Chain A
């Protein structure tokens, strides 16, 4: 990875330029409320169709990185989170902006994002080889259990309603079953049509459930409202005192972010919220929520560190643990790449190149972010009636450009309407897409395990690793169920007391 031979094969000024384009577009997409890394990746995918593999993938990864910081720009300047991972940034970023220091808040966010991004990039560089070696030792039932943990962690960490989250995930898995059976080649649930034989593509769901539903939501929302930046002092320079103050928090947040990134299913939003809530409990952080720099730093470092962490299971095991990585995987597939065990050995230049370009993306994110943040903040006052139709056009290009099929554009539109209502009814759209993404993988390992054991289900509890994972999986379901029952009992006892 560090040899001159590898470096000279990887680096070219064109690729660095594409990384800069990716970061810039990521800052924009991250900053636009309601979009996010997944939608940004889908919108940029068509541009990469005819590009060479390394620059194309590096540009997409750079977008993902830029997006995680971009989300904080709107959180701080407008009080609207650009992406779900930037929600906790709002709690301290917005009060700081309202106190007349939006530039300082943005500077802290940018610095913490850079620290998180760097830690994430270094973790990718140094953990890839040992974890790739470890991956060879994992058996099919063990990988099945890891994938299952990825799905159930969505229930454990993010569920508003346990039945609806389980339903969303499993429903997504059912849609992942449509198409030809990868073992036998027989069509499944295709309604006897040729169009469905190749199944649905994840990008279709991302465009429908996130981009199109956001377009509809913006179009039928309050069109008389105009976003305004409360203060135009957007110089992102921060003092050394602020840097020293946030450093430990950012490092700690980044470390947790890597772990959350590695566990499939959790993603940046869950990680940032978890870290913010955890740090808030410490006594010395009692002023969290009032414009505390550490409040901004912890979640921003976390969500950027997740990027490097989330790439690890994808490159090592082929498990796309989040929607953004799944969308990124479409870019890999488009260029004829299949990640998983042995991928590092067959594509060392590409994998090492991605690690290096992730590092470069972080540095460019800092530089570009420093000089363009105020520009994005001003751009975001563009009213919804202009923004929505423009996003719609790009979404149609994304949906059609994928395979040049009209029905996929129609499907994206239908999923957009479904997504609009689903999120209001507490269904988990991210759970659905994750279920869809992991469904073929889980089925693959599940069936291979059963064929090996000739139908004996005890194969899933034969190794100590499997037993530990099984316990974790049970906990992921049991804990939110217990918490829901406790809440219900508390509410019921409250009602009884009120009646008395």
Chain B
């Protein structure tokens, strides 16, 4: 479980920093232009101010306002499994980017994910076999559809 108020404050601070970057860059260009209304920085500057204002209002709500004493929590699922799943996705992309074999990388990635997530099957041989078959059939279908029929090279 994650504390919603704390996570909210962190997200608002992060947004403040990013909006601050946009505002700084906008004002830096804006001040050099005489016909300010023609400037490409005017609109982003206004939007940055809106983001900063809304982020400050959100922070005020969390720290002093409606959410001051809130102890609400939220769950996104298994936090232990999150880095594993993200790790598989990242590895899948790295392998694809480095080796260049899209369909092979996707086949391996999909099979690994299915095998990892098929928690009800205790027998690992069956798990892996099932994952390889499903992944093979699906990637085969995708290959035929995109590479052979649509002629999109990946």
- A→B interface (CB under 8 Å): 46-47, 49-50, 161-164, 166-167, 170-171, 173-174, 177, 181, 183-184, 186, 188-189, 216-217, 219-224, 383-386, 388-390, 392-394, 396-397, 400-401, 406, 409-410, 413, 417, 420-422, 424-427, 439, 442-443, 446-447, 450-451, 454-455, 484, 488, 491
Contacts and interface: CB of A to CB of B under 8 A. Distances in A.
A177 B77 contact: no
Interface string B79-107: 10110011001101100010000100010
Given A186-B40, A393-B138, A450-B37, A163 B51 contact: no
Contacts of A50: 150-152
A170 B152 contact: no
Contacts of A397: 142, 146, 152, 154
Among B43, B66, B92, B114, chain A packs the most CB atoms within 10 A around the CB of B43
Given A183-B38, A220-B82, A406-B97, 10 more contacts: A164-B58, A221-B78, A224-B120, A389-B110, A396-B93, A409-B93, A424-B74, A424-B76, A426-B8, A455-B35
Contact of A171 (B15, B35, B152): B15
B54 interface: yes
A447 B37 CA distance: 7
B69 to A, nearest CB: 10
A220 B85 contact: yes
Nearest to A422: B11
Interface in B104-154: 106, 109-110, 113-114, 117-120, 134-135, 138-139, 142, 145-146, 150-152, 154
Among A186, A219, A223, A491, chain B packs the most CB atoms within 10 A around the CB of A219
Contacts of A384: 117
Classify the secondary structure of B's interface with A: helix
A183 B33 CA distance: 15
B135 A389 contact: yes
Contact of B119 (A166, A223, A409, A454): A223
A455 B36 contact: yes
Interface string B33-49: 00111101111100110
A174 B44 contact: yes
22 contacts: A49-B150, A161-B58, A161-B61, A163-B61, A167-B55, A174-B18, A184-B40, A188-B41, A216-B86, A220-B77, A223-B119, A385-B119, A386-B134, A390-B110, A393-B139, A397-B142, A397-B154, A424-B2, A426-B8, A447-B38, A488-B65, A491-B66
Nearest to B150: A47
Nearest to A455: B37
A40 to B, nearest CB: 15
A188 B44 contact: yes
Contacts of A421: 7, 11, 76
B57 interface: yes
A334 to B, nearest CB: 12
A219 B80 CA distance: 11
Contacts of A216: 82, 85-86
A426 B70 CA distance: 15
B40 A163 contact: no
